[in-house]
Structure 1
Amino acid sequence: MGRSHPLDNSVHSALAGPHAHFARRRGNALRYPSDVSPFMALPDSPDDADWADVAALAGPGRGVLLTGLTVEPPDGWEIVTRGAVLQLVDAGIAAAPDGEAVRLTQADVPEMLALAERTKPGPFLPRTIEMGTYLGIRHGGRLVAMAGERLRPPGWTEISGVCTDADWRGQGLGTRLVLAVAAGIRKRGETPFLHVVASNTNAVRLYESLGFRLHRTATLVLTRPPAEVPISPGSTPRPTVRDGRRSSTG
């Protein structure tokens, strides 16, 4: 049976769809390049070979970051962290462009990385900006707030990277940027959604007040495979695709 909704396995939906140009694949396992996003993805009902493939994509000794419906690792895998995240979807937010918001470019990445390091909005890496449109607000030439687009399952775009410098909080800059990013998403015929850590009740209340509603609760898990992940008897090596080129794997 197929997925009932593209958001149920949003990372896989994005990498198999609009973000396929980013996809690093081994068998049915997918991941973003490590300088774009740490997220990896399994099919909806993974078997032992799928888990072996995602371990191979991660690399020896590296953790595997997953979110979605199927995030129970096999026996022998270490659970490094696990938490609940709420998936909220646009249910009538007042999306609108913002006259002070500017589109951020590669030239802004050093400032974006510094802002993300100070404010901890979630993973933001040197090439995260390539995932979609990022908007920022500057005061005195300094980048003080930003928000942008991350996952893109078919028909949907995630709003992410929402952060405001400590000196500028309480002025609604983050809210304005969320609404401006949402306006751009709607303009191309897609629906905004976002993820919030379930324990961040202040953020949940804010987003609900803007017109987002709960779609589902997902699990975010960082897990680490055992030193050697067995391949099921009789299985054959599965192809790896990098940058659109297929190569054999052992």
Structure 2
Amino acid sequence: MILQNPVYAALTGPHASFAEVSGNARRYPTAVAPFLGLPDVLTEADWTDAAELLRAGGPAALMRPEFAVPDRIKIDKVFDLVQFTAPDELPAADPEAVLLGADDVPDMLALVALTDPGPFRSRTIELGTYLGIRRDGELIAMAGTRFSLPGYAEISAVCTHPSARGQGLATRLIRAVAAEVTATGRHPFLHTGGTNTTAIRLYTSLGFTLSNEMKVTIVSAV
């Protein structure tokens, strides 16, 4: 199933132009996203290719169900991840949401540093459409699309400034980003940490359905 290996599906599909390639292994440039993609069925040659990319670009994260790792690959960290797909009734445009662009990246990086919604780097904005809510000039909430797969787009970087929480801004932006996704004929999905009960509660309240239980495995070359 394509959603069980989203990084590889993106880097061999709609995001192929971003891919740094060695054989069957793919990774995003480190300034874009810290993810490595490998085929569904792994061979020794695939791990050799992966090691080459890891030596060149540094550690990266694999996002997929659990798998065995050869000795020449070092596991730095593993944590649980859950994946949800959106209900059909989720999308709803929001009049306060504005399109974020390159000039907004410093504010986006500052908000991410404050809220830690997951990896967001200086060029992550190139991966998709990001929307934000500003008040008195300050970016107080944002969300956007990261992985683009055939038929799917991932909602990511959902975060709200601590001073603006409890106002439903995350819900509004999730719906607004979902509207952007469905307008292109794709279906929204998203990920969150397996222990992030607050996010899981929000997503299930919005009608998201659990689609996969996965692992994030951060690896480097030995």
Q: Deviations over 1:82-106 (max 9, x none)?
A: 1110110012343100000000000
CA distance in 1, matches of 2:17, 2:56: 24
CA distance in 1, matches of 2:144, 2:160: 13
CA distance in 2, matches of 1:117, 1:93: 32
CA distance in 2, matches of 1:183, 1:71: 35
Q: Deviations over 1:104-138 (max 9, x none)?
A: 00010110011111111111001100000000000
1:126 corresponding residue in structure 2: 122
Name the aligned partner's letter for residue 11 of structure 1.
V
1:69 corresponding residue in structure 2: 65
The percent identity for this pair of structures is: 48
Q: Which one has a larger percent helix, Structure 1 or Structure 2?
A: 2
- Larger Cα-atom Rg: 1
Which runs of no fewer than 5 residues in structure 1 stay unpaired? Answer: 227-250
- Residue 71 of structure 1: CA displacement? 3.8
Give the TM-score of the pair, scaled to structure 2.
0.96
1:148 corresponding residue in structure 2: 144
Matched, 1:101 2:97: yes
CA contact (8 A) 1:44 1:69 kept: no
Matched, 1:10 2:6: yes
1:206 corresponding residue in structure 2: 202
CA distance in 1, matches of 2:51, 2:66: 15
Which runs of no fewer than 5 residues in structure 2 stay unpaired? Answer: none
- Residue 64 of structure 1: CA displacement? 3.0
CA distance in 2, matches of 1:47, 1:8: 18
Structure 2 counterpart of 1:192, from 185, 188, 192: 188
CA distance in 2, matches of 1:207, 1:142: 26
Aligned residues: 222
CA contact (8 A) 2:79 2:216 kept: yes
Deviation beyond 4 Å, 4+ runs, structure 1? none
